[in-house]
Structure 1
Amino acid sequence: MSTTSLFIRKDQLATTRLHTATDAPLANGQVRVRIDSFALTSNNITYAAFGDAMSYWQFYPTGEEGWGSIPVWGFASVVQSLNPGVAVGERLYGYWPMASGAVLSPGRLSPERFTDMAEHRAALPAVYNQYFRCASDPLYTADTEDLQALLRPLFITSWLIDDFMSDNDFFGAKTLLLSSASSKTAYGTAFQLHQRHETEGIEVIGLTSPGNVAFCESLGCYDRVLTYDALDSIAADTPCVYVDFAGNGALRNAIHGRFTNLKYSSSIGGTHVEQLAAKGAGKDLAGPRATLFFAPAQIKKRTGEWGADEFGRRMVAAWHQFLGAVTDAKNPWLHAEHQDGADAVQAAYAHVLAGKGDPRTGHVLSLCRQPAGG
């Protein structure tokens, strides 16, 4: 057997190549999985852009200098097991390489999940090392696998951003500005924040490009949707919080420069990858320092305060509510587009990296399946 992977040049993200290697024998305690499908979103581009700074390249090291494997979320099936606690045929949800297969070292097994105990992952954030066993996973339903792959990790981040803001009393602001408003993490955050409109008076303003205004307005979770060049329609002295999903340095500078009562600036990720390294971005900013939001830290805080069971209960309830809105028959927010095979995966990656495409379309990819007719 062999495994095919998509390698990315770490210092030139548009450069990719396919790598096929013969599978090594498993060690005792390991399992081999076939990665059936995975989602590719702008969130994965963020993983690559911050790959060194946030250690994302370390989850699935390629062993080749300068080349990395971007982690993705999706579903896999166990095809070989030397671990008595994990059966061949078991279906798993979790964090995979962009590849046709992977090897895990399961430990800390429970009916719902296990942790990959591979030595090179020991110092990495625990949330990314957990694999959910679909047969007992409270968030799993077989008919929504595509939406889980596309939205589940992003929505958990969205839910945590909302919780973090509320936990800090919105830093004394009632208006939140969300950039890249058509992105999945942004509109998941807006969905959560919008529920606070009546009770807490929170106003959510989505910032986006002209071509995505209609889409963002159709979601119904933004109080206002503005193009990036329309910041002057918001009073400069508005007490506000900026939640930056774009990573666009020029936009961040503009917002920090305009709003004299900016209470907090939160950096979530980078959907505008060409702007991430913009000279001067984040330096000499007016107002508060732009602070990177790290979801695992809020998970750790809340599981400590609420307990793991209560944390899970709240998250599951929020997820099902969100999924109800996304799958509304009259106005579905998202549909999955399947692309199989190496050529299709490379093309989809280039498409997402370039920031192209319809926000209503989500890429669900597979390197283990061949395209129809192929």
Structure 2
Amino acid sequence: MSTTTSLLIRKGELATTRLHTATDQPLADGQVRVRIDFFALTSNNITYAAFGDAMSYWQFFPSGEEGWGSIPVWGFASVVQSQHPGVAVGERLYGYWPMSSSAVLSPDRLSPGRFTDAAPHRAELPAVYNQYFRCNADPLYTADTEDVQALLRPLFITSWLIDDFMADNDFFGANTMLLSSASSKTAYGTAFQLHQREGIEVIGLTSPANVAFCESLGCYHRVVTYDALDGIAADAPCVYVDFAGNAGLRNAIHARFSNLKYSCSIGGTHVEQLASRGAGKDLAGPRATLFFAPAQIKKRTAEWGADEFGRRMVAAWHHFLATVTDARNPWLRAEHHHGGEAVQAAYAQVLAGKGDPRVGHVLSLYKQPGGL
């Protein structure tokens, strides 16, 4: 019998992990088993864990172990067994996976380009996370950029939606956008989009160590360190887009900027600060409001239609991808980690917020033939 190895995280104690191996059960009619070839791990996935209970992220891939969860990740997989007539062994898929070596799906609502996992426990979860894209008919897919797709595709879609949300609301009357964690992938994807808007100044906020990296990207009009906020006019009509989740920084932003039009909370790279994210009652100015990407997808799909929504997103992605992978100044370098201990170590590094912002972590838990 084959087995599946998973990295489990203790809920509420995210630094505690363990590897778990279980025997695979036979497939039921209509199910397929996939080998998860590799997946990306970014600070976005840490946000999934931090909000695991509040936003149901732990429910996508139940561990079956009380107090332990599997963090959802994005990556590529290959079908290795199929009891579904519409899905062939060998088919390659992009989508949302557990941090595991394999997974079982129940494909439904099949089209040439995608299908939905109809597993009963996922029925009430956001539909956008339950879709699996068939690489041979996926307009976002290019075979030679799988690493970058795993690392940036879900983050860029969020970035694109943040930019669209801001434009949809006329930037709340602001002309300056303040982005924290400016070296993070979702932040610079958002900056890339916002930089194309006329009359909008995009200011990246970051630590001193990441200033040069942020400036090299060319998508920020200015890069300012967290301790130099006084270099920005206090009365500037601005919007704060919070990718950091640092309560102290958020309080400082709200206290300094008297003309803060909107405060948008995206993700959390400062895990120790996340417990206080909802405690915005004492903040000066507008209430910090959590951005939920599926809500903007639903709104725009209703307004534009699914085809037009897809066309716009695909065009924006290919523009971004060409910039990120430009050989003259690549924004990202994939670093591969294979096997349980390597995956645990990479997770600990991402959780701690350490490492070079140019490096993207690509992980794999499945055992390669003749390998680990």
Matched, 1:236 2:237: no
Deviation at 1:371, TM superposition (A): 11
Aligned-partner residue type, residue 68 of structure 1: G
- Structure 2 partner of 1:85: 86
Equivalent residue of 1:277, what SS? helix
Q: Contact between 1:74 and 1:93, CA under 8 Å: does it hold in 2?
A: yes
* Separation (CA, whole Å) in 2 of partners of 1:224 and 1:343: 40
* Separation (CA, whole Å) in 2 of partners of 1:354 and 1:282: 25
- Structure 2 partner of 1:218: 216
Q: Which of 303, 306, 323 is the equivalent residue of 2:304? A: 306
Matched, 1:258 2:256: yes
Identify if the C-alpha distance between structure 1 residues 93 and 11 changes in structure 2 by more than 3 Å, giving closer, same or farther: same
Deviation at 1:281, TM superposition (A): 4.8
* Separation (CA, whole Å) in 2 of partners of 1:312 and 1:225: 32
Structure 1's unaligned 5+ residue stretches are: none
Q: Contact between 2:245 and 2:277, CA under 8 Å: does it hold in 1?
A: no
Deviation at 1:142, TM superposition (A): 0.7
* Separation (CA, whole Å) in 2 of partners of 1:264 and 1:202: 15
- Structure 1 partner of 2:65: 64
Q: Which of 256, 273, 276 is the equivalent residue of 1:275? A: 273
Identify if the C-alpha distance between structure 1 residues 371 and 330 changes in structure 2 by more than 3 Å, giving closer, same or farther: farther
Deviation at 1:279, TM superposition (A): 8.4
Equivalent residue of 1:333, what SS? coil
Deviation at 1:369, TM superposition (A): 3.7
Aligned-partner residue type, residue 94 of structure 1: G
* Separation (CA, whole Å) in 1 of partners of 2:313 and 2:235: 35
Q: Contact between 1:106 and 1:116, CA under 8 Å: does it hold in 2?
A: yes
Map of 1:1-374 to 2, 5 A cutoff?
Answer: 1-196=2-197, 200-278=198-276, 281-369=279-367, 374=372
Structure 2's unaligned 5+ residue stretches are: none
CA deviation profile, 1:168-220 (whole Å, cap 9, x unmatched): 00000000000000000000000000001xxx300000000110000000000
* Separation (CA, whole Å) in 1 of partners of 2:311 and 2:208: 38
* Separation (CA, whole Å) in 2 of partners of 1:332 and 1:371: 32
* Separation (CA, whole Å) in 2 of partners of 1:279 and 1:135: 41
Aligned-partner residue type, residue 69 of structure 2: G
Equivalent residue of 1:47, what SS? helix
CA deviation profile, 1:34-71 (whole Å, cap 9, x unmatched): 00000000000000001011100000011111100000
Q: Contact between 2:9 and 2:69, CA under 8 Å: does it hold in 1?
A: yes
Count of aligned pairs between the two proteins:
371
Deviation at 1:318, TM superposition (A): 0.2
* Separation (CA, whole Å) in 1 of partners of 2:183 and 2:133: 28
Identify if the C-alpha distance between structure 1 residues 371 and 49 changes in structure 2 by more than 3 Å, giving closer, same or farther: farther
Q: Contact between 1:339 and 1:371, CA under 8 Å: does it hold in 2?
A: no
Aligned-partner residue type, residue 67 of structure 2: G
CA deviation profile, 1:76-115 (whole Å, cap 9, x unmatched): 0000000001000000000000000000000000000000
Aligned-partner residue type, residue 358 of structure 1: D
Equivalent residue of 2:275, what SS? coil
Aligned-partner residue type, residue 79 of structure 1: V
* Separation (CA, whole Å) in 1 of partners of 2:370 and 2:73: 23
Q: TM-score when scaled to structure 1?
A: 0.97
* Separation (CA, whole Å) in 1 of partners of 2:216 and 2:148: 19
Identify if the C-alpha distance between structure 1 residues 276 and 371 changes in structure 2 by more than 3 Å, giving closer, same or farther: farther
Q: TM-score when scaled to structure 2?
A: 0.98
Deviation at 1:340, TM superposition (A): 0.4
Deviation at 1:282, TM superposition (A): 2.4
Equivalent residue of 2:71, what SS? coil
Identify if the C-alpha distance between structure 1 residues 35 and 280 changes in structure 2 by more than 3 Å, giving closer, same or farther: closer
Q: Contact between 1:2 and 1:23, CA under 8 Å: does it hold in 2?
A: yes
Identify if the C-alpha distance between structure 1 residues 51 and 259 changes in structure 2 by more than 3 Å, giving closer, same or farther: same
CA deviation profile, 1:249-273 (whole Å, cap 9, x unmatched): 1110110111111000000000111
Equivalent residue of 2:303, what SS? helix
* Separation (CA, whole Å) in 2 of partners of 1:213 and 1:276: 24
CA deviation profile, 1:136-180 (whole Å, cap 9, x unmatched): 000001100000000000000000000000000000000000000
* Separation (CA, whole Å) in 1 of partners of 2:337 and 2:345: 9
* Separation (CA, whole Å) in 2 of partners of 1:152 and 1:348: 20
CA deviation profile, 1:11-43 (whole Å, cap 9, x unmatched): 100000000000011111000000000000000
* Separation (CA, whole Å) in 2 of partners of 1:159 and 1:279: 23
* Separation (CA, whole Å) in 2 of partners of 1:34 and 1:117: 19
* Separation (CA, whole Å) in 2 of partners of 1:139 and 1:372: 33
Equivalent residue of 1:276, what SS? helix
Q: Contact between 2:264 and 2:288, CA under 8 Å: does it hold in 1?
A: yes
